[in-house]
Amino acid sequence: MKRSLAALFCLATTAFVAAFAAPNLSGEWKLNLAKSQYGTVPAPLEVTRRIKHEGVALFLSTYQKTQQREVTSELLYTTDGKVCVNKMSTGEASGTAKWDGDRLVIESSQKVQNAELKSREVWMLSPDGKTLTIATHLTLPQQGEFDVKQVFEKQ
């Protein structure tokens, strides 16, 4: 009886942990501009993001097209909160990624021309896994602080 009760407890605990496991963000995601909110920030014409998420490793490849240019960036984070340094076209950016329940929080900073740019992103995956919403708070020395909401759809 004790053995079957212990097995039942173990099974229930495993099911509970699996139910609250971090979502897998892998896939190709395309920005839905109509559902996104850029406020006073000029919106891009197009954004596509490819995400490879395995364990704690999170690799992002982002293509963005604006009126002025086209840019592709590649970033690597670990979702365990450790500091990661990524090389960008404007220099190095350091940041951390960690789970807050089922939301991924990425905080990063970068020095550009002796000014520090900061961002805090909160990633939320819809229950059906088809929509990724990223709420970003940006702090830019010259422009101040502002918020952007991007809504991506899985392709």
Cβ(121)–Cβ(100) under 8 Å? no
Measured CA angle at 70 (ends 97, 67), to 5 deg: 115
Positive or negative torsion for Cα 67, 68, 72, 78: negative
Whether 5 maps to a domain, the answer reads no
Whether 2 maps to a domain, the answer reads no
Whether 6 maps to a domain, the answer reads no
User: Looking at the 3D structure of the chain, how many domains does it have?
Assistant: 1
Phi, psi of 24 (to 5 degrees): -90, 125
Nearest to 97 by CA among 116, 115, 117, 75: 75
Q: Which domain holds residue 31?
A: 23-154
Whether 18 maps to a domain, the answer reads no
Write the burial class of residue 39 (CB in 10 Å: 0-12 exposed, 13-18 middle, 19+ buried): exposed
SS3 of the chain: helix, strand, coil, percent, to 5:
10, 60, 30
Q: What's the pLDDT at 150?
A: 98
CATH for 101: 2.40.128.20
Per-residue pLDDT of the chain (155 residues; tens, 9 = 90+): 544 444 344 434 333 333 457 899 999 999 999 999 999 889 999 999 999 999 999 999 999 999 999 999 999 999 999 999 999 888 899 999 999 999 999 999 998 888 899 999 999 999 999 999 999 999 988 888 999 999 999 99
Whether 146 maps to a domain, the answer reads yes
Measured CA angle at 26 (ends 21, 30), to 5 deg: 125
Threshold 0.75, pTM exceeds: yes
